[in-house]
């Protein structure tokens, strides 16, 4: 065996792990190398010769080979040791997963029972909350809505199906019914008062309109009467003037006739006949004047009757207009009530859609109801429901 082979010593594989993992475990092998070095240093080769220089290089090379051999053994051991944690971790995971599955297998009946129990309790709690929510409204409802909710709530059976929640459900129902009945009485009184106010306002407006119509009719009748009287008086005055003029003319004619008789007695007969003719004409004119006066009075009476008729027609038209206005007011009240009902139903449908969206997003139904209620009541800043 050469000196090079003797120097490159390593621990055997069977004990290598123990040697490398023990403090100073490689000292025996280092001592073997040191002994070779010390032996070499006892008789140092001559550096002036090629052989001597090669001897130095050969010794250094042998030390390097020992170094490399020991390093290689150490690296191999270290590499194998690094694989051990991986194997350990893999086995740990296998054992963990196996025991985990056995744990779930053993616990599954308990978990299933607990889930069913939680669902049962949640169902009862939700039912109780629904009973409580029936007494809550986003805005003040009409009495008809409250009465319908009371009917629906009374129809909810409180029996053994509520199990240990029977007492709580009964209490919730009684409290909700008490609130609803108090609210129903309040809304009935309010709506009755509002209806009475509407009726009183309508009656007051109708009476005021009747008073205005009566005053208008009275003024119109008075004006018609005054106009008829003035026209009749004017016609009587005109007839009197015409009669006086005819009488004046007759008197003048008689005076002329008398004067003519005095002046011309010979023509007396002819003048007499002429005077008789004129007298007859005067009587005819007087009769015509009287007839004109009577006709004027008749026309005045006709105007008075026509004025009364116009007054009656005006009163009837006012009555018809008042009836139409009252009918329109009643229709408007009905329309507003229907609009409020439709608006309430619309808001309910929007709230239900929001509730379903919350639930679909994973929110518990009770929380979703509370969220919708708070938003609808505008108690959540910067968040509103668009109706």
Residue 129 confidence (pLDDT): 93
Residues 26/19, Cβ–Cβ less than 8 Å: yes
Residue 1 confidence (pLDDT): 29
Residue 145 confidence (pLDDT): 92
Position 207 pLDDT exceeds 50: yes
- The pTM assigned to this predicted structure is 0.36
Nearest to 57 by CA among 67, 47, 66: 47
Q: Where are the beta strands (DSSP E) in the chain?
A: none
The dihedral region occupied by 236, where left means phi > 0, alpha psi between -120 and 50, and beta the remainder, is alpha
Position 118 pLDDT exceeds 90: yes
Mean pLDDT of the region 172-200:
90
- Other Cβ atoms closer than 10 A to 59: 19
176 burial (CB, 10 Å; 0-12 / 13-18 / 19+) is buried
Query: Which tens digits make up the pLDDT trace of 220-233?
Result: 778 878 887 788 78
Residue 268 confidence (pLDDT): 62
3-state secondary structure at position 126:
helix
How far is CA 46 from each of CA 41, 200, 255, 295, rounded to the nearest angstrom?
12, 142, 207, 183
Position 34 pLDDT exceeds 80: yes
What's the alpha-carbon Rg for the chain, to the nearest Å?
66
**Between 264 and 41, residue with greater pLDDT:** 41
Mean pLDDT of the region 74-83:
86
Query: Which tens digits make up the pLDDT trace of 146-177?
Result: 999 999 989 989 899 999 999 999 999 999 99
Residue 189 confidence (pLDDT): 92
Nearest to 272 by CA among 282, 281, 286, 260: 260
The domain spans of the chain are: 3-112, 134-188, 199-333, 345-387
Cα–Cα distance for residue pair 132/208, rounded to 1 Å: 50
Cα–Cα distance for residue pair 322/315, rounded to 1 Å: 10
* Mean pLDDT estimate for the chain: 84
Nearest to 130 by CA among 385, 358, 370: 370
If you search the block for the tokens 């169902």, which residue do you land on? 123
């Amino acid at each position: 065996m050469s000196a090079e082979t003797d120097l490159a010593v390593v621990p055997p594989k069977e004990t290598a792990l123990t040697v490398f993992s023990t403090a100073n475990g490689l000292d025996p092998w280092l001592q073997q190398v040191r002994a070779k070095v010390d032996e070499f240093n006892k008789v140092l080769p001559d550096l002036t010769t090629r052989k001597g220089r090669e001897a130095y290089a050969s010794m250094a090379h042998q030390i390097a080979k020992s170094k490399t051999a020991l390093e290689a053994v150490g690296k191999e051991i270290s590499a194998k040791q690094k694989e051990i944690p991986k194997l350990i971790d893999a086995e740990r995971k296998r054992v963990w997963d196996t025991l985990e599955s056995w744990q779930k297998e053993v616990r599954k009946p308990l978990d299933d029972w607990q889930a069913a129990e939680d669902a049962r309790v949640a169902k009862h709690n939700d039912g109780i909350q629904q009973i409580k929510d029936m007494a809550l409204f986003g805005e003040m409802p009409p009495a008809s809505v409250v009465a319908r909710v009371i009917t629906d709530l009374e129809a909810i059976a409180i029996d053994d199906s509520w199990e240990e929640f029977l007492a709580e459900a009964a209490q919730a129902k009684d409290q909700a019914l008490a609130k609803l009945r108090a609210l129903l009485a309040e809304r009935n009184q309010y709506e009755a008062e509002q209806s009475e106010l509407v009726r009183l306002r309508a009656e007051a407006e109708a009476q005021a309109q009747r008073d205005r119509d009566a005053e208008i009719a009275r003024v119109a009748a008075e004006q018609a009467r005054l106009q008829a009287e003035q026209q009749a008086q004017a016609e009587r005055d005109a007839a009197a003037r015409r009669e006086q003029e005819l009488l004046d003319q007759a008197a003048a004619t008689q005076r002329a006739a008398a004067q003519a008789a005095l002046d011309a007695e010979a023509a007396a007969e002819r003048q007499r006949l002429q005077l008789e003719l004129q007298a007859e004409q005067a009587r005819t004119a007087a009769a015509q004047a009287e007839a004109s006066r009577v006709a004027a009075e008749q026309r005045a009476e006709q105007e008075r009757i026509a004025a009364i008729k116009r007054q009656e027609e005006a009163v009837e038209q006012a009555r018809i207009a008042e009836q139409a206005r009252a009918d329109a007011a009643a229709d408007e009240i009905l329309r507003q009530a229907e609009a409020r009902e439709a608006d309430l139903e619309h808001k309910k449908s929007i709230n239900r859609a929001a509730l379903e969206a919350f639930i679909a997003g994973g929110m518990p139904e009770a929380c979703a109801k509370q969220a919708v209620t708070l938003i609808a009541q505008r108690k959540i800043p910067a968040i509103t429901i668009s109706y």
